[in-house]
Chain A
Amino acid sequence: MPVYGLIDANSFYCSCQRVFEASIRAVPVVVLSNNDGCAIARTKEAKRLGIKMGEAWHLVRRRPELKGVRWYSSNYPLYADMSRRMYQVLESRVPRVEPYSIDEMFLDLSGLPYDLPTFCRQLRHEVRAVAKIPTCIGWGPTKTIAKLANGIAKDRPELDGVCDLDREADRQAVYRELPIGEVWGIGRRIAERLQRAGIQTIADFVAMDSRAARDMLTVVGARVQSELRGQSCLPLSEVAAPRKGLACTRTFGRLVDNWTDLREAVSHYATTAAEKLRAEGMTASFLTVFIQTNPHQKDTSWYANQQSCGIEPTCDTLVLITEALRLLRKIWKPGYRYFKAGVMLDGLCPAGLQAGLFQTRDPVKSSRLMDALDAVNGRYGRGTLRPLSTGLDRTWRARQSLLSPAYTTRLEDIMEVKAW
């Protein structure tokens, strides 16, 4: 019988901030989305103050009752590195680990010669001690059950961060209590459809005829049902599937109404997308550029457009900028205040796989130039050497007014400790 576990960090981004600042260990902490827009992570103290997920910072920041809250811009280099530490701790103790998201990992706990509750408590302690991140763990015979158990471990403080749903009898008790909407893979719409058919709890759903479940919810819903019944349908995947496409899209730090700024931003996004492409050793053969005004701003006229084209497979920053700007020129209309733009790359293939029959550019020259570019930026920091078309002042860049140091990835930013 397989046993799957799911370990999930509590308020992960906030917990990462707390690792490096002793003074915020007990105060409410909130991390904001890109551009310091809205709350995307909250500690329990912040939740208790009534700060909602997605709450706009500029609307609530001056509320008197939120005076003691510490707000942070999202610091992704830090979160990625702390996620790496969490993964490594788990990987040294568990045979197989799947990094499902930046803050949750599936564990293969099948056939381990330990008492699982004791073992999982130790895992939590070790992640807490080494990566400094508080977590919860749930486990059971399928991934869907592990995910459910994890949610229960998080919601019920008396369980002390662990929840065991490996035994059928324990599951039955839980299934009778919990609404179907709590299950991983059952979205709000599906939950509503099930409720209209009289299915309220997980127990109701599990007892439903399998064929009826499949007719109503397709094969995806049928799989959720099997998983809840304890038949594992979703295997552990230790590595992410190769990407089919990648994108760099951002909301601007301010509205952009002129060609120069928009051109800079799109060049910058093309540069970032090309860097990602090269980091994965891929080339792209299809390019899309889009721009849009703010859809929520009702008082100004709205415009959005996109253009795509096939290109010779490449990962060359300069080529991608040229092509992206050619597309941008087609969709750019003056007189609008743009809010967001993006560059998307598709048709990804491992670099060097296709020797283009009708190649118009010198691939050796291009790859040498890109190697040099990446080497300089790798050594002296991102963006040290970049095409001038990406701009100098770049006032359109996303706001990060509350950004903390990159404590673990930049030497000039490491945590300071006072000699005593």
Chain B
Amino acid sequence: MSGAYAGDRTTGFASPASDSTEGPIDLSAALDLQRPNRYPVRVVGDALAARGILHGDILIVDTAARPQSGCVVVARWQDQTIVCEITRQGGGWWLRSGKGQDAQMHRLDPAHDSEVWAVVAALVRTQV
């Protein structure tokens, strides 16, 4: 709306803040959602609860970032799109499940249906 009041245009006393309004915080800018490499995705399941990622969370993932060992990534594994940890061991990259001691490992091999799709960059939880 054109005439929205933002703390600036008062009718009686001139607002001392009229040159200083900044508007509300824009989370989409904070999360860089306008950039072509940013995609929001929704988490299904609680396997990454130990890393603070819960069922229903929105993850902002980045398709331009390079994965670091130990970070959380979205990956293609056979016919699925999963979110899990990635780790570097013995000269290769591995996807590691989030189940603590009994963690399973899958070797990443882009030639065989497994590749990193994006790196998890931020988390949004709309209900706490």
Contacts and interface: CB of A to CB of B under 8 A. Distances in A.
Interface in B77-92: 77-84
A415 interface: yes
Nearest to B74: A417
Nearest to B53: A419
A410 to B, nearest CB: 10
A23 B76 CA distance: 10
Interface in A101-147: 129-132
B47 A420 contact: yes
B42 A420 contact: no
Contacts of A411: 40, 58
B79 A417 contact: no
A200 interface: no
A371 interface: yes
B41 A416 contact: yes
A211 interface: no
A418 B82 contact: yes
A88 B35 contact: yes
A22 B41 contact: no
Nearest to B63: A130
Chain A interface mostly helix, strand, loop or mixed?
helix
Nearest to A23: B79
A419 B84 contact: yes
B125 interface: no
Nearest to B79: A23
B42 A131 contact: no
B14 to A, nearest CB: 26
A419 B41 contact: no
Question: How large, as a class, is the contact surface on chain B?
Answer: 35 or more
B122 interface: no
A132 to B, nearest CB: 7
A87 B36 CA distance: 9
Contacts of A394: none
A84 interface: yes
Interface in A1-55: 22-23, 25
Interface residues of A, number: 24
Contacts of A416: 41-44, 81
A88 B63 contact: no
A417 B63 contact: no
Given A415-B81, A418-B81, A418-B82, A130 B36 contact: yes
Contacts of A375: 1
A414 to B, nearest CB: 5
A85 interface: yes
Residue among B59, B76, B77, B79 with most chain A CB within 10 A: B79
A419 B73 CA distance: 10
Residue among B39, B43, B98 with most chain A CB within 10 A: B39
Contacts of B47: 419-420
A418 B44 contact: yes
Contact of A414 (B40, B77, B82, B97): B40
A408 interface: yes
A304 interface: no
A129 B36 CA distance: 11
A191 to B, nearest CB: 38
Contact of B82 (A84, A85, A371, A419): A419
Given A129-B63, A420-B98, A89 B36 contact: yes
A131 B97 CA distance: 27
A220 to B, nearest CB: 36
A23 B113 CA distance: 10
B64 interface: yes
B44 A417 contact: yes
Residue among A23, A408, A418, A420 with most chain B CB within 10 A: A420
B19 to A, nearest CB: 26
24 contacts: A23-B79, A23-B80, A84-B36, A85-B36, A89-B37, A132-B63, A371-B2, A375-B1, A408-B40, A411-B40, A414-B41, A415-B42, A416-B43, A417-B82, A418-B80, A418-B81, A419-B43, A419-B46, A419-B98, A420-B47, A420-B48, A420-B77, A420-B84, A420-B98
Interface of A: 22-23, 25, 84-89, 129-132, 371, 375, 408, 411, 414-420
Given A22-B76, A414-B39, 5 more contacts: A22-B81, A371-B1, A414-B58, A415-B81, A418-B81
Interface of B: 1-2, 35-37, 39-48, 53, 55, 58-59, 63-64, 74, 76-84, 95, 97-98, 113, 117
